[in-house]
Each structure stands twice: as C-alpha cells, then as structure tokens.
Structure 1
Amino acid sequence: MQTTYTFTYFKDFARYLLNNHLPALARYYYQLLCKANAPLLSAVAHLSEEQQIAIARASIEDFLQRVQQNTALEGAQQVLDQWRQNQHQHFRRESIVTSDIVLTISARRKLYRQHLHLYTTDLQEGIRIMEDYDGFLTLLNQRTFEVYQEVQQEVLRRERNLFESVISNSVDGIIAFDKDLRILALNKVLEEHNGVKEADVVGKKIFEVFPGYEESEEGKSFLKVLKGEQIYLQNRPFRRKKGFYDVHTIPLFSSRGELQGGLSVVHDISLRKEQEDALRLKQQELQQQKDELTATVEELRASNEELEKTRRQLQELNARLEERVHQRTEQLEYQRQWLYKLFMQVPGLIGIVSGKEGSVVLYNEAFSRLWGGRQVLGLPMREAWPELEGQGYFEILDEVLSSGKTISLREFPGQIDRHNNGQLHQAYFNFTYSPYMNPSGETEGVILYGVDVTEQVEARRQTEQSEEKLSMALEAGQMGIWDYDPKTDTSTNSLLFHQLYGYDSPSLAWSFADYLNHIHPEHRSLVEKEFAKGLKKGSMAFEARILQRDGNSSWAAIMGKVYYNEQKEPIRIVGIMTDISERKRAEEELQQSHQELQRTNTDLDNFIYTASHDLRSPIVNLEGLISMLQRNLAQQLEAQNGQLLNMMTTSISRLKRTIDGLTDITRIQKEDEQRELLSIDQILQEVKQDVAGLLEESGARLETELQVPSLEFAPHNLRSILYNLLSNAIKYRKPDVPLVIRIQTYRHENHIVLSVEDNGLGINAANQKKLFSMFKRFHSHVRGSGIGLYLVKRIIENAGGRVEAQSQEGQGSRFCVYFPA
C-alpha cells in the first residue's frame, strides 16, 4: 500500500496559498461546507463560527505544510486511522460515514480550483496543478474505502457473536473449523447432506473427512478464509442429491482481532433459482431504462466540459463505492436472515433489549405468544409491558445494565396480560438476564433467556399461604415493603425499603414524621395530602422525590392499602415503594429529543428554501437557451429533434412549478403574515378570477352556502387554500358528468369550517392515507406538481387547525378545513 505521495506542480501553488491567502481559504472552505450541509459540521456545532473557521484554518494549514514535506498522504492516513479507531478529537465514528469524507474532499478540490486564478492565468499550468492534486485524491479515496471495509468487518464480527447462542438450530448447513482446518462443529443439516455424524468427525481435519474437497472450489475457499478473506460461492451442485446451494465461508476472529478459524454456511437454493432468474431478467430491463435515462442526462450536461469531466469522475467513484457497499450489504443481510430464522424457532423465551431504557430490538415467536402477539418492537420495556411496572423485572434489568453482571431468576412471579385483552394472569418464569457488550467493553444491552414455569409452580404452591406468596414476590421484585400503624405511629419496613433510602441495614421503627423527614421538601405537602386522602378512600398511589442518607435525592413510586377495624377506623397501612428515577430521567430525555426534532425540521425548511432559490436562476437560463435554440434552428430541425426540444421545454416548466411549490412551503414557515378579518366571499371571487379559464373550460357549476361570512386569517394563506382546493376539484373531474362544486362555511365546536365538495373522480381508500404527502399524485392524466394539498395541510396546521378529507372513488371528494375560531 502506497503511504507517501510526492507533489510536483501543486507544491509551489500550495506554498503561495500558505503565504498569501490562508485566512481567506479557511473562511471560503467553511462556507462551502455550510452550503453543502456537510455532516462534519454537526460535530462542532456547539462552537462559534469563528472557532469553527479556526479549526478549518488549522486543517488547511497542516495540509499545505505537509504538501511541502511530501507527508500529506501520511497525515490523511492518520486522520482515517483515528476515525476508524473512534479516537478523533472532534468526530465520533458513528456520526461520520465514507460519503461524508468524500464530500469534504470534493469541497477541498473546489476550494483550490477557485483560487487557482490568483496564482496563474496559464490554462495548461492550471491543468497540471489540478491533475497533480487529483492524483493525491485518487490514493486518498482508495484508502478511505479500505478503512470503511475494516469498520464493516468489525460490525460483522459483533453481530455474529450476538447470535452465537442459537446457531445450533440453523435450518442451513453449518460447519465450524479452527485455523488448522480441524472440525469444531457440524450441525444436523450437514450430517444429512454428507452422510456423517458430528461425533465421528469433530477434531479431524476437513480434507481427511472429505478427501475429494481439497481441489474443489469449496476446499480452496477454506484456505482463503484462513488468510482473512470472505468467500461466497453461488449455484454449487449438491454431491449426494439433486439441487443447488450457496455457501458463505467467513473467518472467525477473537476479541483482539486474531484469526481463530472459520465458519461455513450452506443454504439450499434449489427452489429459489427459478424465481431468481425471473428477477434477474426484470433487473436487466430496469437497468436498461436507467441507462437510457442516464444518457439523456449526459446530453443535457454536455455544455460544460470541465464540470462534466469532474462529475464523471465522481460518478464513477460513487458507483464503485455503491457497488462494493451493496455487495457487502447483501452478504450481511443474508447472514442476518438465516440467523433470524434460527432465533425465531427456539422453543424457549428469548428477547433482546438495548440502551438504558431497555428498548425491545428483537424477540422470538415463543416470546411473542407469551404476550398474545403484542407488537412491541422498538418500544421501551416499560411501555411495551406496562403491567410489569413495580414487579421487579425492570429493576433487575436496570441492575444488569449498570453492573454488567448476569442475573438468573428461578420461578420469578409476574402479573402478565397473556391474551392482550387487559386481563392480567399470574405467571412464573425461570429467567436469565445476560448483558452483551460493545467492542469497547461497555454494556450495550441485555439478552433475556426464559422458560414459562407457571403450571409447575402453581401445582406445587397450592397449599402455601397467599400472604407468603405476596411477600416473596415483592422481595424478589426489588420493591421495598412498608407497614405503618396509624394508632401507635410506628412502622416496620423491609431491608430493601431502607436500602432505597441509602441505609445498609434496617433502622429503628419509623414514625410518620420520620417518613416526612426523608421526603424532599418540595413534595412533603403532597405526601401529607395523599396520606390523608388514602385514609379516607382506602388506598393510595403517588410519586415523590425522597431523600437518601447521604443527602442525594431520587424518585419513588409509593402505593399502599388501608385496613380498617369494625368501627371503620384505620388500623394498618401496608404498601410498597419502588425506585423510578430511571423512568423520570427517560421522560426528561424524551422531552429533549422532541425539542431536537423541532430544530431539525426548522433546518430542513431552511435547506428547501435555499435549494429552491439557488435552482431558479439556472433553470430560467436553461429555458432561455432552449427557446433561443428553437428559434434559431426552426427551419433546420427534423421533426424528431423538434419534438425532443418540446419535451425538454415541458420538463423545465414542470420543474419550475415544483420549485414554486417548494418556495410556497418554506414561505409558510418563514413568513409571519399579519392576520386580518377577511370576507370569505371576496377572497372566493378573487380565486374564481384566477381560475376563470379552468371554470369556463370545465363548465363547472359553483354552489355556495356561507353561514360564516368572515374569519380572521392571513389573506395570502386563505387565498392559497381556496385556490388549491378549487383548482383540484376542477382538474380531477369526470369527463362525462357535469361538474358541480359546493363551497360551504359553518361553525363546529371551537372551529370555523370551510368545506369544498365535488362530484369528480374521487380517490380510493388505499391512497387516502397518502393524500396530503408531498409530490403525491393519483391521476396521471392531469398535470400538476403534487404539492397543493400538502401546502394546504401545512398552512392550516401552522395556524393551529387541521384538514380532513372524505372521498369515494368514482363518486367525488369533500375537503373540510378547520380554522381556530
């Protein structure tokens, strides 16, 4: 691998920039990254603009100095290695992908090209300087992809280790071997394929057991895998039966990255080949259409030779990167699929949760049946199975996540909703909470292995007292128990109750005043009120902050039941207390995430506004050039070429309408129009003038019933709503039925409703869910950008209202806009 690059022509240019234009280079480079919305900037977004420019300057200055020393490639390699090892001082590895680095490199090239005229006006010299720099970029892009491959290899090892515990139930054939080609494991599928038993071949070398394989492609793949390669053989014929298979052989590494051996997976594809052939033919047709479209685009861009050359180079590089990434993604997806099938078929209960909240990322069919088929994928455990709150399962999960240690439970009780109908049933489980680690050795999540032992436990515990059951379940669930006597003002509490307050052992019996002294001052009045209410109604349940022995505070959920004597006087209150600090922190984090999402939406609107504004000028120029070409060559063009120019003019007009729609969308967010008391009929008359041609052409009859004659709203926005609804009603009419459009206003609860109803084509039920999406059109014979209804929805929702649609295909549509009264 080449580690150095010697610059020839670029070196003097670099020295000139370093000595004369470094501050201007840094600021322009920063502007290029901002304009391209480079993800690299998000890593330093907390810094001021001047601090970010200072970082850009240091980076450019270091590069130009290294050019003088011929160490630029070595410096870039160091940055890539820091990124790969997740040790870069500014950027985390998971926040930056290879395309982000390529984008930054492209910005650097544009930076130097824009300043080249300051150094020389000789075109040939300028070309030599940029070709010298492009030679460096070629080597850097190549190394960037190599580093990306290494990162992907690390991810593959991590996923393989996660599913290792269920590999023995694979429906595919699997053989594992060490670095000396000795067989470590052979599952039942390969036993049947090869007519051998695992017990007879484990420990023997592969080529001793299968002597005919040594010169075969499969045998050669074993040797290549021991050199660190991944081998994927397709469409291989079976030796002992008819059919074909794919075999994927991969190296196995230790946690330190040392080669330990390999794993070969054999997948029967006999029944799939015919479908693959049909799919391949369809892909060829799609590729041909894509090639034709690409050729058309290339003809339109031929006017700028230098830009075209640069675009082709970037396109070729991106194509190679995309192809390699696509191949690697297919391999990873294949392994995920067969590991997922194995996982789902395991008869025991298996689930995987991740993160501090214990979000459910995977569970097998047995686990799903336990909860009545409840769909909980992606939900935090407390939201997925709320009935488990306070039963100890979540507390144990928190402990495993924090300590990184495995916890096993036997006959652990739980009230669960087995049929997902709101009815709770008592159940018992043998569960093991096993943490799994990320490559840095940190606990990332927990694997839950379990067996439902409810029938066995209930059969054995029929003679046990119900109070003993409750006591054991609460104690195993890590919930503190408290028992208070209001007559004597004394209490007896469990050890865990005191541990929640930071005590190592039970202290003396607490009075009610002792309880209050351990409640945060902000919540003491709340606790007094809840206890007073509980004594009257017979139960209590509330949340409060408690004070621990060391002065720190935490959140607790407190529940209790009141027992009375014959005179209906309270004589005993028994309850439980659970630490809910993690849940409270999760709620705060969720609020922060919501605020971040709002900021992201604002940034997206700004991007759309800038992009539509920047595209407008070149589109107008291109339209003028085509119009000039049509006039100048009107007598010389053949009919076919003239038709092509007309098609181009139509496409440009469609693009201009789309840009206008995008500008309207962003205007809704950016503008703060002053509301006025508007006459709805006056606005309607103005809109009718705007669509007068469409009304005359369609012969439409308008019926109005304005029970509410006026409303307070922004004039431009009300006009836009009426225009889009009325023009849509006209455009999507039925050609053989006279068009009738009915416009009404009326009051409904706290809203003024504007209704536009027609007897047009209507929309089927399947498409109604996507009715207000951007660029969605459901009738191809009508021209339009697909932005109108989306614009209506954005306008009214920004004003605090809503829009609803009722439609039946072939009968017509009705749109109701609800304005806040």
Structure 2
Amino acid sequence: MNQKPSDPERSPAQAKAVPDFLAAGGEMGALMRAHDWRGSSLGPPALWPQALRTVVRLMLNSGHPMYIWWGADRACLYNDAYRESIGPERHPGSLGRPAREVWDEIWHVIGPQIEQVMSGGGATWHVNQLLPITRHGRREDVYWTYSYSPIDDEHAPGGIGGVLVVCTETTQQMVAARRLATERDRLAQLFEQAPTFMALLRGPDHRFEIANPGYLRLIGHRPVLGRTLAEALPEAVEQGYLARLDQVFASGEAFAASGAKFSVEAVPGGPVVERFLDFVCQPIKDADGTVTGIFVEGADVTEREQAQEQLRIERERLDLALGAGRMGAYDMNLRDGTLWWSPQMYPLFGVSAEDFVPTPEGVLALIHPDERDTFLRLRTQAIAERRPFFHEFRIQRPDGTPVWVGHRGQAEYDAEGRPLRSFGVTMDISERKQVEDMLRDADRKKDRFIAVLAHELRNPLAPIRNAIYLLRRIDAADPKVGWCHDVIDRQVMQMARLLDDLLDVSRLTRGQLRLRLQPLGLASVIEQAVEIAQPLIDAGGHALTITLPAQSLDLEGDLTRLAQVFSNVLINAAKYTPARGAIALDVQRQGDEAVVTVTDSGIGIAPQHLARIFEMFGQVESALDRSQGGQGIGLSLAKGLLQMHGGTISAFSEGVGKGSRFEIRLPLTPQTAPADSAEARTEPGALAEPGYRILIADDLRDTADSLALLLEAMGHVVEVAYDGEQALRVAEAMQPEVVLLDLGMPRLNGYEACRQIRATPWGAAAILVAQTGWGQAHDRERTREAGFDHHLIKPVQPEALVALFRRRA
C-alpha cells in the first residue's frame, strides 16, 4: 500500500500553495509545478517531506543529470539534464510514476541495486554499466556511470525515504573506446603479422622499446627489448647503422635506403649472412617537436636483389652471346612506334648510339631500297597472321657497305587480338651468304664436272658398244665369243646406267628432273625393269621369281623413271646376294595402291643401317665384305623418283645374313583399259629397213667409224665426217636422209652444223639426230632450239636407231 509523504508541521492551507523548492528548475520545474499530483503516490508537493523538498530543489537547480526514486513505489522525479537521455518514450510520461513501470526493461539490473540502497545497504557506484533501453523508437545499448545514494527521512520506514541518482551517460565514450580498442588490436595484429620488420627505439642511445616478429626474424631472434642498439646488435654499429640513427635523431629528418647491405647472424652464434634491406628511419617527436625516438620500418629484399643480380649476370651473358653471334635485339611498341635497340644493334647497322636514335623510319632508311617493300610486306603479313617471322635482307650502312642480315621476331597482342609490340633479334649473316654463294658456285661446278665426266665417259662407250654389235653379227656361232660379247655388252650398259643415275641424282637434288607422265600398265613397267636388270641377275646365277596379279594394275607415271626405280632395286638385290641366290618380285593390289615387294636371300642389313640405305651416297658395310661397291645412289634415286610419283619405298631385314625385303607402294588410277608403254620394243638384233642415206659426224673417229660399220651392216649408205665443216661439205654432196651429229666437234659445233643443214632445201626434210654425252634437261632444250629432231645419249643403242628409222618409215 502506497503512502503519500506527510509533514506534521504543514497545514492544509500551506499544501495548496506553490512550494518554493519548485520555483526554478527549467522545463522540469514547470512540469512539476503544473503536474496533477493527486494520482501520484507523492501527493501535492506542498505536503512533501522536507528531505524530499531539499533534494528536489538541489536536483532542479543542478546542471548534472539527476534522478530521484521516492517512496514505497519508487516514484520518479528527474531534472532537465536527465530528460535528454531517456527519450520521448519516457519523457514526460514517467514523471511521478512508479520506477518499475518506467524501467521495466532494465529492472532486472537496477531493481536489486535500488533495493540494496533502500534496505540500508548504503550508497552504490556503477561505472559504464550497460543498460539496453528503447529510445527514439529503437533499442540501444546505453552505458551509464551512476551512483545510488540514500535520502534520509526520519518519517520513512527504516529512515530512508528514497534514492538519489547522480548519473552520466557514457555511451559515446564506450563506443569510442571500443573502436579504439578494436583499432589498437588491429594495429597490434598488423604489427605482429606484418611481413615487414618494425622496431621502435627510444632516446639518444636508441634503446629498443618494441620490435615485431619480422624484426626478430631478421636478427636471429636475439633479445633486444630494453637494450640499446650497440648492446643488442654490435655488428650494426660496425656497419654504420648507429651513426645513421644518430643523424636522424639529431636532425629530426627521416632517412630512407633501398637495397642496403646488412651482414647479420641469422641464427645466434651461426654464420654471418648477407641480407639486403629497404627501410625508413622515421623520427618520433613530442608536442613541442623534440625527437624522442625513431621508428624503423622496412623489408628484407634479399631475394629481389639476388634476382636482380642474377638478371644482371644473365643480361651480361646475353650481351656477350649477342656480340659473339653478331646479333642484336630490338623491341618496338606498335602503338606509338617507340623503338628500343640493344647496344649490339648500332655497330651491326653501322651507326653510333650517340648520333643515331632508332625509329621505325630511320631503320627503314638503312634497309637496302630493293628490300624495303618486301620486308614491310612480310612483317605486316606475319603480324596479321599472328605467327613468328623470319626474313633475310640487305642493309646499306651509312658508309655504303652492304650487309646481309637475318631478322627474326614475333608480335605480342592484347586481349582483343590487337598487336601491341614486336620484338626479336637481327643478326649479321654476311659470312653465311658468302659461304652460300661459294657453295652454289661449287655446286654449279660440281654439276658441270659431273656432266663433263659423263660426257667424256660416254664417248669411249659408244665405239665399244658398236664394235660388240658388229662382232656379234660377224662371229655369232662360237659360244665362247658370244659369251665375251655378252660380258662386254653388259658392262658397257652398266656403265651407261651408272652415268645416267649420277646425272639423274644431280638433277633430282636441284629440282630439275621432270617426269613425262602417261597412263601405264604396271606389268609393262616391271617387264622393262626386269629386262634392264636381267643381265646382272643372270651373271650372279640368281633365280628370279615374278608374281603378277591376273588383273591389270594401271597408274599414271613416267615409264622410263619407274622402270629405273624397279631396275635399281632388282640390281641392288642381285649385287648383294651371294651367287645362285633367290630373288622374288611380287605385285599385289591393296586398296588404291599397288604394292611391289622385292625379296632376296642376300647379305641382309643390320638394324642400325636400315635408316641410312636411302641416303645419298649411303653405303653400309656388309658382314660378308662384298666388293660389289657402287655409288650409293641407286636406292636414293629410287626413293626420290617414287616420291615424285606419290609413292614410297621401305626396307626391312631381320639382320646380317638374313636377306632383305623392299616394299614399294604406288597410287593406282581408277581401273580402265590396260595401258602399255608408248615406246615400241625392238629386238636388239632386228634390222631396220635398208636404203637410208646416213651422215655420221663425230670428232671421235672410233665412235664415228664403228657406228658407220654397224649401219652399213644393216644395209644403209653411210658417210663419215670428223668435224663440223667437213660434215657440211659431205652433207651437201650426198644430201643425207638421216644426219647423226656430235655436238662438240671442232671447227664447227653440232648446233651450228644443224642450223646450216636445216637452212638447205634438202635439209628441211632430213632427220637430224644429236648424239652426245650431254643429257641434262637444258642440253635437250638447246638441241631442240637448234633444230634437231632427236637427242640420243651416248652410247647410242642400235635398238634406238632401229626404232627411229622404223618410225620414219
């Protein structure tokens, strides 16, 4: 039950008057004066006990936040300074109301504190007490520092009428302190976890106050706190760091260093290691600007310095290598044209770094005028196609010296594929170009030598071959003589084939060999190849087995060259197979290819030599030490000719002494009527129709005379001349139907003799045949331009002449 305060000394009349103690108090004084206290447990103010009136007067006149709880229900009174803290939710509605109703949300905290005071427990003091309340529409964490003091009243139960609260809201201070603590913790974590090293040194003797783990790692975790630099790190003193700190302390100016060397024991008592540091020494000043200490912060950049040193060494090596290779490097920004040259580029282009600034225009001016457009076109095309580029061109140095250079580079592109920069190297290739010129000249001389050699070797073969044919006709009955004839004939033909191979290889390597493609039946090619190789196969006593498919295999090819391929493989098998061996030639169709396999029972091929046998002049040593020899070009020529036909050749052998197998593959044409050789075959002994008037002109008398005897034996009328002028005189006298002219005759060569014969009335209808040891493509073209109908290579085979005469007939 609530009891209103009473004062026995006051009369009812006095209770109705406005009490003096409420005369002031600002807004709260006015509210209290105007408040209807009849519904409050306090009753009219005029009847309030003197103790309450005194405290209320004190509260209303104080600028410090104060609060009063009075009576059994702890009615609430407060001043202007306090009302700012409670918000519209409690002001002014809480005036005179019971405390528990007003502060229900925090009563569990303040209720026991109030009861402690009211029950005589004495005053209480609370610092930064958290009291979450709702104000201004939201719940807040509010902090207070306050005191609860008892208000004595002799008329109240227990002598205590209420509680005076003197308080200060400390919410802002607490939030600021919390933020400060958070920031301090964050800074402490940064200080502890920083990858850099940090230390604070105080006083002129530079005594360590703090040092983070990074600093301790740098100095080998030695104890430094509380010690001076000289005590903790004597090696730093020796290296001048103490003097540097003294300078900063004395001047008050910061000092920064980059890549400074610091020798320190990374492990206490361990070896001294060399570290490199970036650091700043920042003076710390008090309010009046006096330096009190130095903050040191930095990073261990040893790895960076080592990498830079390694980079310097690599650059030095690169410069040495570029200089030794007479090459330089460049880097050009394709957006703005900025061009960088390495030092080696200047002497390469014959300019000096002092006088020449590399620009795209300036460099282009140094390129030979004949090369500029090509250089720009190739580089632009390579950049557009996003591929590296290499170009060889001439530059013209300022002193007029021409220099060949090789330019190799590539471009770098952005994310959209646009070129950003172009970089690469340029090298002096003048010596290489000179060597290439020398090699080309040597190659021309080699080709000329081979051609001359073949010509000179063919010339003596012609009379030998002619004499053999004559002897065979004169003395064909004696088998021993016939055997001698056959041996000589075979060797002459073998020599001619070797010379042909040598010339063909020369043409093949220079890309001057041309194919005469025509529809062919593979059987006719095999037949001609066997005919070429048969003499050598027979001489070795070998058994040759040929297996052909029943169906014709047709292809597009050069009959002579394909026959040359297969004959070379057969001859190779015959040469490297011991006497009375076995050779098998098998032809099959596999899909769109013809597969020809030549197998022999010969000396075999060691595994390590299989890859070499198709190389030019590649010969392998045989375990049987055979002396068949050879030029080492037959299989290489066969491979090249097959590749020109779109074919391949492979070699297989199980080893030395176990024979060999060669597999040739050629593409077939769609099946049509079987093709055959365009050239008619003539038996060597067959005779042409007799009665032609024939002039033979050759400065080699044996060749001319032997061929004349042979043709006369065939029934022709033959005249002989031994130089060009004599040939013209004889021709004018006999008006021959066929003229066989050597090209290299004295006094008048065969070309000019041909032209003059063609110019005569009777010469226009004559058959003019060049017989020569020169057989290359340009030789044939030259004879055609001179007016020859045919070009025959010495030694001229009688069969070829017979076929020629028959075609004319």
Do they fold alike, i.e. is TM over 0.5? Answer: no
Which structure carries more relative contact order (alpha carbon 8 Å, separation 6+)?
A: 2
Rg larger in structure: 2
More helix per residue: 1 or 2? 1
TM-score (norm 2): 0.31
TM value normalised by structure 1: 0.31
